[in-house]
A and B are shown apart, each in its own frame.
Chain A
């Protein structure tokens, strides 16, 4: 893992070889171990390790700005000089950019308050193949004994590389003196256990430390869901009361966050944005974006090195505001909230750490309080059918169960659904304790009026 001093030195070396009016250097890369298992054995065991330096330049001429970006995985002075030259060459050949915003000054949008050590765990960084294989064995061996089939993945990384395959960001610095650095280790494990009838159960955990990983518990949960899912029957299509496990809630919350992008609102793609200040939901609904939430500890600055503010998007049922990248902040004369992608980019603001506040209780507590409903483990293939009105479709997966008088009474076949995210929030009857799930912090929810369109065939 590149240290703060090494990152700063690398950025300064790269800045020195740039001839642009202004220059920004992003350091990413790192290392990632990814182990996949299927049919109760390891099918892939990989490690990759690579640095990544990205150079963005701004060229000012005649009061207009041109911009370009280049990237390299080489760290020699020659590599950095070549990357800088390519970025400048790209910028020179492009038309001036009317959207260009001069690079950020240090602390122009405040600072972030958190642990400068980041979310880096030395023990996790030193994890080797034997330990990873052991974690997988905790899931695979019991599955074999029970005649079940376990599949899944375990990835352990440090730096910017994630199992999404991107170089990510460890540090950002620019010629205006801005410097940000945040070291992380990441651990992600998920497993799917399949019964011989084809029914599946699934469990997943993400975090920053191997010590937080309990692979045996993960396997137990997935096996329990698979065994409970045998002989599913078909649920009639229509409107139902559902208990959504946190993984399902996280899927929907991530989609909802798009409605709080100022850029999307300006493009006419956010009905919720048109109703800021109105009480749309119950007082129990509060939604934040907070990458430094203790359960997330995500990188606290955006692609331009601007600190990401903890912002209330919905407070006690009332939508309050938007996420702003630096361009939309400039347009609207507000302070950016630290939601820029690496520039140049036309991408709208994206959430950095969704947090939906909750109350007390587990999923089982919510089930116990349900007279008649459906327990949803997970949602999949979720996508917008109406971006502006926040209407999404998708499918359930890996565990759907009927609830009668507070108890699970039987397995159900997976269903297709279509819901308005606004209706989902309005339909919240009960909330549990928020936990980390799917990169967000969300509680389990009981929601009425959830529309299933029919069984997966």
Chain B
């Protein structure tokens, strides 16, 4: 691989590149889905290829292919340079990269049990056991389960002399039960949200969840929600469980701190960000209780790695410190644009065929203190919401509306009754500034949220988000309705 990489990089330089890097990736993925007693998907795929990224005449070019031969890599490298030179015709300023050490390193995500050595029969049997448990209640019309596994061996080389080998295994699981009744349809999921949760790690990540034991409760809640009272409306105190805080962090902190988005590079696609660069170091993003960090070194996170796809070593940094915006997710190109001499190392691609973009790593809310039950007991009137059901955020990540699967109306420090279709809306700084309490480390969990599309062609990359339950004061809870003109 190293010889092939060197040949590609040499070809790029000969064609006129001032910088070049290459990622050669051998990947395997496996996905299993079940629905109502049937295995609806079982797929085992392999993908092997490479992508060459170059700077020539001060502009970027990128090309990718599966032709892992000297001729193949040379052709792709030359093509990438041609693309860069075409881009340069419209350049305003040449691209300049922040410096980066040329690492010679290896990294692998810790794995206790290789998920590809666990038989598909064991995996499908587990999902079908869960399925049977969910559908033991007659009101459950649909039970869906899924597992996903991926393994990636990545070689990275650059004309600066970097040579990094990384091996990364990701495992994921999730299921949901949908109850149908005269009043409507209700869905409950486990461990969180409709797409489950993922982590870097092996099958031990699957085994850690009491998947079968939780199924009866999950199905029972879906059924109970059919008869539950509607969520109250008004300005109420809002407590979000750990998984929903994680979702809130992802959508209203992780996404808008992607610096390419801030700079307007995504305005035609995924959108922009209200966290403009003039706000750095001064903007009051949240209350003093709110500290948000980006940390690709966090063990087991879906956004964990040793080096990003520019060869920058993973390190932890603050995005929001005690409420103030202090950082962004950056790349070697974007970091200098906010006066930083080094990239934070948040530039990744979803596959060898994709060009690296600024992406979330693990973006997490630092814990506070106390338990969820203490927080509920301390709340006079409000709603506790669990598990993401629907997400709607505007193009700048400022205004939002979130729906959750389940809510508990709180009165005088106690859960009064179950409520259905809970939702809340507001704007990002308004919500985070109203955060007056975050539960402690004992309630903190690092969730892996899959999905996350960005770029053209679209790349799907998950991210990790750690959070404890948290309370937000006087939030608009319940649906907003248009008035008759």
Report whether B60 and A94 are in contact in the complex, using a CB–CB cutoff of 8 Å.
no
Q: Which one of B15-23, B87-95, B404-412, B437-445 is at the A interface?
A: B87-95
Asked whether A46 and B41 contact (CB < 8 A) given A32-B457, A164-B457, A267-B142, the answer is no
Report whether B267 and A164 are in contact in the complex, using a CB–CB cutoff of 8 Å.
no
Asked whether A344 and B39 contact (CB < 8 A) given A50-B65, A132-B86, the answer is yes
CB distance from A225 to the nearest CB of B (A): 13
* A44, A86, A137, A165: the one within 8 Å of B458 (CB): A165
Q: Does A69 lie at the interface of the complex (its beta carbon under 8 Å from any beta carbon of B)?
A: yes
Asked whether A46 and B46 contact (CB < 8 A) given A163-B456, A385-B390, the answer is no
Q: Does B353 lie at the interface of the complex (its beta carbon under 8 Å from any beta carbon of A)?
A: yes
Asked whether A45 and B41 contact (CB < 8 A) given A94-B121, A137-B90, the answer is no
Within 424-457 of A, Cβ neighbours of B (below 8 Å) are at 451-454, 456-457
Report whether B124 and A345 are in contact in the complex, using a CB–CB cutoff of 8 Å.
no
> Whose C-beta in chain B lies nearest to the C-beta of A49?
B65
- Residues in A with CB closer than 8 Å to B59 are 42, 45
* B44, B80, B264: the one within 8 Å of A87 (CB): B44
Q: Does B232 lie at the interface of the complex (its beta carbon under 8 Å from any beta carbon of A)?
A: no
Q: Which one of A103-111, A245-253, A279-287, A387-395 is at the B interface?
A: A387-395
Asked whether A454 and B121 contact (CB < 8 A) given A345-B40, A380-B395, A383-B392, the answer is no
Complex CA–CA separation, A178 to B202 (angstroms): 40
* A72, A162, A238, A383: the one within 8 Å of B45 (CB): A72
Report whether B124 and A453 are in contact in the complex, using a CB–CB cutoff of 8 Å.
no
Asked whether A45 and B84 contact (CB < 8 A) given A137-B89, A140-B90, A395-B394, the answer is yes
Report whether A86 and B44 are in contact in the complex, using a CB–CB cutoff of 8 Å.
yes
> Whose C-beta in chain B lies nearest to the C-beta of A38?
B265
- Residues in A with CB closer than 8 Å to B373 are none
CB distance from A96 to the nearest CB of B (A): 9
Complex CA–CA separation, A389 to B427 (angstroms): 28
Report whether A45 and B44 are in contact in the complex, using a CB–CB cutoff of 8 Å.
no
Report whether B63 and A46 are in contact in the complex, using a CB–CB cutoff of 8 Å.
yes
- Residues in A with CB closer than 8 Å to B66 are 49-51, 73-74
Q: Which one of B279-287, B307-315, B322-330, B475-483 is at the A interface?
A: B475-483
Q: Which one of B30-38, B216-224, B239-247, B297-305 is at the A interface?
A: B30-38
- Residues in A with CB closer than 8 Å to B457 are 32, 34, 48, 155, 161-165
Q: Does B48 lie at the interface of the complex (its beta carbon under 8 Å from any beta carbon of A)?
A: yes
Interface centre among B48, B125, B483 (most CB of A within 10 A): B483
Report whether B483 and A42 are in contact in the complex, using a CB–CB cutoff of 8 Å.
no
Complex CA–CA separation, A4 to B198 (angstroms): 41
- Residues in A with CB closer than 8 Å to B460 are 165
- Residues in B with CB closer than 8 Å to A87 are 44
Q: Which one of A9-17, A187-195, A297-305, A359-367 is at the B interface?
A: A187-195
Report whether A151 and B264 are in contact in the complex, using a CB–CB cutoff of 8 Å.
yes
- Residues in B with CB closer than 8 Å to A388 are 184-185
Report whether A453 and B267 are in contact in the complex, using a CB–CB cutoff of 8 Å.
no
Interface size class of A (residues with CB under 8 A): 35 or more
- Residues in A with CB closer than 8 Å to B268 are 36, 38, 151-153, 190-192, 202
Report whether A38 and B43 are in contact in the complex, using a CB–CB cutoff of 8 Å.
no
> Whose C-beta in chain A lies nearest to the C-beta of B28?
A86
- Residues in B with CB closer than 8 Å to A190 are 268
* A83, A141, A165, A457: the one within 8 Å of B398 (CB): A457
Q: Mark A338-355, 1 if CB is under 8 A from B, else 0.
A: 000000111000000000
Complex CA–CA separation, A289 to B335 (angstroms): 48
- Residues in B with CB closer than 8 Å to A48 are 51, 63-65, 353-354, 457
Complex CA–CA separation, A34 to B260 (angstroms): 18
Complex CA–CA separation, A93 to B458 (angstroms): 33
Report whether A90 and B86 are in contact in the complex, using a CB–CB cutoff of 8 Å.
no
Report whether A133 and B44 are in contact in the complex, using a CB–CB cutoff of 8 Å.
no
CB distance from B35 to the nearest CB of A (A): 4
Complex CA–CA separation, A49 to B52 (angstroms): 12
> Whose C-beta in chain A lies nearest to the C-beta of B146?
A346
Q: Does A277 lie at the interface of the complex (its beta carbon under 8 Å from any beta carbon of B)?
A: no
Report whether A47 and B83 are in contact in the complex, using a CB–CB cutoff of 8 Å.
yes
Q: Does B128 lie at the interface of the complex (its beta carbon under 8 Å from any beta carbon of A)?
A: yes
Q: Does B49 lie at the interface of the complex (its beta carbon under 8 Å from any beta carbon of A)?
A: yes
- Residues in B with CB closer than 8 Å to A335 are none
Q: Does B70 lie at the interface of the complex (its beta carbon under 8 Å from any beta carbon of A)?
A: no
Report whether A45 and B42 are in contact in the complex, using a CB–CB cutoff of 8 Å.
no
- Residues in B with CB closer than 8 Å to A128 are 82
Number of A-B contacts (CB under 8 A): 260
Q: Does B62 lie at the interface of the complex (its beta carbon under 8 Å from any beta carbon of A)?
A: yes
Complex CA–CA separation, A149 to B482 (angstroms): 34
Report whether A453 and B265 are in contact in the complex, using a CB–CB cutoff of 8 Å.
no
Report whether B124 and A456 are in contact in the complex, using a CB–CB cutoff of 8 Å.
no
> Whose C-beta in chain A lies nearest to the C-beta of B353?
A48
Complex CA–CA separation, A74 to B267 (angstroms): 36
Report whether B355 and A39 are in contact in the complex, using a CB–CB cutoff of 8 Å.
no
Interface centre among B66, B85, B398, B453 (most CB of A within 10 A): B66
Report whether B399 and A44 are in contact in the complex, using a CB–CB cutoff of 8 Å.
no
Report whether B482 and A43 are in contact in the complex, using a CB–CB cutoff of 8 Å.
no
Q: Does A397 lie at the interface of the complex (its beta carbon under 8 Å from any beta carbon of B)?
A: yes
Q: Mark A71-84, 1 if CB is under 8 A from B, else 0.
A: 11110000000110
Report whether B482 and A418 are in contact in the complex, using a CB–CB cutoff of 8 Å.
yes
Within 340-386 of B, Cβ neighbours of A (below 8 Å) are at 350, 353-355
Q: Does A41 lie at the interface of the complex (its beta carbon under 8 Å from any beta carbon of B)?
A: yes
> Whose C-beta in chain B lies nearest to the C-beta of A380?
B395
CB distance from A372 to the nearest CB of B (A): 10
Complex CA–CA separation, A267 to B36 (angstroms): 12
- Residues in A with CB closer than 8 Å to B185 are 268-269, 387-388
> Whose C-beta in chain B lies nearest to the C-beta of A152?
B268
Report whether A239 and B485 are in contact in the complex, using a CB–CB cutoff of 8 Å.
yes
- Residues in A with CB closer than 8 Å to B398 are 456-457
Complex CA–CA separation, A87 to B41 (angstroms): 12
* A51, A72, A162, A194: the one within 8 Å of B267 (CB): A194
Q: Does B180 lie at the interface of the complex (its beta carbon under 8 Å from any beta carbon of A)?
A: yes
Q: Does B459 lie at the interface of the complex (its beta carbon under 8 Å from any beta carbon of A)?
A: yes
**5 nearest interchain CB pairs?**
A346-B40, A129-B86, A71-B45, A93-B120, A238-B485
Interface residues of A (CB under 8 A from B): 32, 34-51, 54, 67-74, 82-83, 86-87, 89-91, 93-95, 97-99, 128-130, 132-133, 136-137, 140-141, 149, 151-153, 155, 161-165, 190-192, 194, 200, 202, 236-240, 267-269, 344-346, 380-381, 383, 385-388, 393-395, 397, 414, 416, 418, 451-454, 456-457
Please list 6 pairs of residues, one from A and one from B, whose beta carbons are closer than 8 Å in the complex, sorted by A's number.
A39-B264, A47-B63, A93-B121, A149-B264, A268-B185, A346-B33
- 5 more contacts with CB within 8 A, not counting A38-B265, A414-B394, are A34-B456, A41-B91, A69-B42, A71-B47, A387-B185
